[in-house]
A and B are shown apart, each in its own frame.
Chain A
Amino acid sequence: MANIPDDLHYSKDHEWVRADGGVATVGITDHAQNQLGDVVYVELPKVGDEFGANEPFGSVESVKAVSEVFSPVSGEIVEINGSLTDSPEKVNTDPYGDGWMIRVKMSNAGEVDSMLSAAEYEDFTKAETE
């Protein structure tokens, strides 16, 4: 069973957001990394880049496949997890911790409220895999 922490917000594209004082940390969920398999490459944007809600900000690649990752919130990138360049496997081993991808200074903090809760995301992934 995939790990879905209660204190995060979730998107239907399988990203999670941890909102903290106007800054959102974004990564992909345990379910997503499990579906992808061994992550071998992560492509991230540059600090200062701006994205609208649900725009792709980068990509995650396993041996077999490429998946785009979307920013559930709009805003400016203030930090990226550069350690994923050399250690992309952190996305598999610690998707909600060391495997985080970007930090976004949110231009509309209300956007997180329209995201899924942990319970809603769990139902969503169940429905999707059925």
Chain B
Amino acid sequence: MVDFGGWDMPVQYPAGTIEEHLRTRRHAGLFDVSHMGEIDVKGADAIAVVNYLVSNDVTKLIDGQAQYSALTTPAGTVVDDLLVYRFAEDHLLLVVNAGTTEKDWDWINANRQPGAADLKNVSSDYCQIALQGPDAIGILQKLTALPLADIKYYHFTQGGVDGVPAIVSRTGYTGEDGFEVYAAAEKAEQIWNKMLDAGNFGSDTGVLPCGLAARNTLRLEAGMALYGHEIDESTTLLEANLGWICKLNKGDFVGREALAKQKESGITRKLIGFEVTERGIARDEQEVLVDGERVGKVTSGSPAPYLKKNIGMGYVPTDSATEGREIQIDVRGRLVGAQIVKTPFYKREKN
């Protein structure tokens, strides 16, 4: 167990990281992500108030839809990345990272504009259990009458899961199809155990509980940013390839001006994905070299259990950020060859 934003979390369960990772890709993995923070926003101006704080366009959401977004600083850097759920025109839920929940809460209250919106930090009210992988839908369907196949990606609905009132969201952080289920905190154990039962935990093709290490390798293969690694208060959304969540024409928001200016003048560094081409494993914080010069750092580096390659992401000067470019990583004093590749590293086949 390790401390993770104040939560005791398992790095891995007895099956081990590699098996947890592969099982999620091939069948299903179960993740207790109750540590995630939730902020409830209610009131006639809920959408306007949130829209001023985040980079994506909240007005585009319809009831029952979720949106990936970011809380931005005036410099266009990232306070946190988050999901915005729309329940109704006057009701949103923000789902933020565990380690940043308190910071986000303070930031939002310090930077929000006046308006009819009541904000409440409801993090401790909710558990969140993520069921991910191609078998997730079949497993969860055994526990609910909600027509899961009708829920589109990045949409959600509300109803009973094993009789427990829940929010069932077709979202995830693994690159697989799957669901994130939010319910009252005290129901976490019940939902967790029922999902293990419904998913034939114990069989070779059944669901496996997954720890933090597999959560990290799955999201890395899927090319998704992790707060504190690819994005933080020193990196802008544009540098992090998150221009697609910067809606510069939606109206004013914190950081809009800086991001518009940076878009105009061009970014000087860019987040890239790479594959290690020699023997060695790149790790977080190691230096990246282009033409022998130390130009940036690895933001996430790890073996990729499904791809069976050693991969990573990191920042390099924009003029070097071209696919196929040979780079080097300083792996504890040894320069190891790598090549810039397209992300996501892994993309599931859609049927």
**Chain A residues packing against B (C-beta within 8 Å):** 37-38, 40-41, 43, 59, 61-64, 66, 85
Contact = CB atoms under 8 A, between A and B. Distances in A.
A41 B281 contact: yes
Nearest to A92: B16
B12 A37 contact: yes
Nearest to A66: B283
A37 B303 contact: no
Contacts of A66: 281, 283, 332
Given A38-B18, A41-B303, A64 B11 contact: yes
Given A37-B12, A40-B303, A41-B303, A61 B17 contact: no
Contacts, number: 39
A63 B217 contact: yes
A63 B305 contact: yes
B302 interface: yes
B151 interface: no
A27 B36 CA distance: 41
Given A38-B17, A38-B18, A63 B283 contact: no
Contacts of A63: 17-18, 21, 213, 217, 302-303, 305
Interface residues on B, range: 10 to 19
A64 B213 contact: yes
B30 to A, nearest CB: 19
Contacts of A62: 17
Contacts of B279: 41, 85
A40 B213 CA distance: 14
Query: Interface centre among A40, A41, A64, by most B CB within 10 Å?
Result: A64
Main secondary structure of the interface of A (DSSP, over half): strand
B16 A37 contact: yes
A63 B283 CA distance: 10
Given A63-B17, A64-B17, 13 more contacts: A37-B12, A37-B17, A37-B213, A38-B17, A40-B303, A41-B279, A41-B281, A59-B332, A61-B281, A61-B303, A64-B302, A66-B283, A66-B332
B298 to A, nearest CB: 13
Interface string B1-26: 00000000001100011110100000
Contacts of B12: 37, 64
A85 B280 CA distance: 11
Contacts of B213: 37, 63-64
Contacts of A59: 332
A64 B21 CA distance: 12
A59 B213 CA distance: 20
Contacts of A85: 279
A93 to B, nearest CB: 12
5 contacts: A37-B17, A37-B213, A59-B332, A63-B213, A64-B11
A56 to B, nearest CB: 10
What are the 9 tightest A-B residue pairs by CB atom distance, in nearest-first order? A63-B17, A64-B213, A38-B18, A40-B303, A38-B16, A63-B303, A61-B281, A37-B16, A41-B281
Contacts of B16: 37-38
Nearest to A61: B281
A40 B282 CA distance: 13
A89 to B, nearest CB: 9
A40 B19 CA distance: 13
Contacts of B217: 63
Contacts of B283: 66
A43 B64 CA distance: 51
B281 A40 contact: yes
A66 B213 CA distance: 14
A64 B283 CA distance: 9
A85 to B, nearest CB: 8
Query: Interface centre among B281, B283, B305, by most A CB within 10 Å?
Result: B281
B280 to A, nearest CB: 8
Interface in B184-222: 213, 216-217
Contacts of B303: 40-41, 61, 63
A41 B283 CA distance: 13
A61 B12 CA distance: 15
Contacts of A61: 281, 303
Contacts of A37: 11-12, 16-17, 213
A104 B332 CA distance: 24
A40 B310 CA distance: 10
